[in-house]
Amino acid sequence: MCVDQSCTRCSAHVSSWYNTQAEEAVKAAGFPYVSIYRPGLLDRSNVAETQPRPLEVALSKLVSKLPCTTLAKAIVNEAEARLREATTTEGVATQVVKVYTNPDIIRLSK
């Protein structure tokens, strides 16, 4: 673990480590179905902030941003699909873990 928290690479590493730990804890909890969303850069243009975040501004020139509404729609659509599936089948024998990245999130939001 890096001591200098102002270092972007270090902060990303620490954040990634905590996210991995959280994901593993959720998986270990034994839920029958787990959805993990890993969006890239989120488009927060509809969030009222006085100053744009400098790192977001720089990154948005390099990668496309995913609108927060697209992420929200994907989460709702996927949850509703799992709910419909759960009401039409009997118990789940093994745990199912799905990990969604930007392309998956965009597809699920439709």
Taking residues 87-98, report their average pLDDT.
Answer: 64
Domain coordinates in residue numbering, the chain: 1-29, 31-108
- Cβ neighbours, 10 Å, residue 100: 19
pLDDT digit string (tens) for 20-29? 888 888 888 8
pLDDT digit string (tens) for 73-85? 999 998 888 877 7
Which pLDDT score, from 0 to 100, does residue 75 have? 92
pLDDT digit string (tens) for 37-68? 988 888 877 666 656 677 777 877 888 888 88
Can you name the residues that pair with 34 across neighbouring β-strands? 97
Which pLDDT score, from 0 to 100, does residue 90 have? 58
List, as one string, the DSSP characters of 9-51: HHHHHHHHHHHHHHHHHHHHTT-SEEEEEE-SSEE-TTS--SS
Which pLDDT score, from 0 to 100, does residue 4 have? 39
Which pLDDT score, from 0 to 100, does residue 80 have? 87
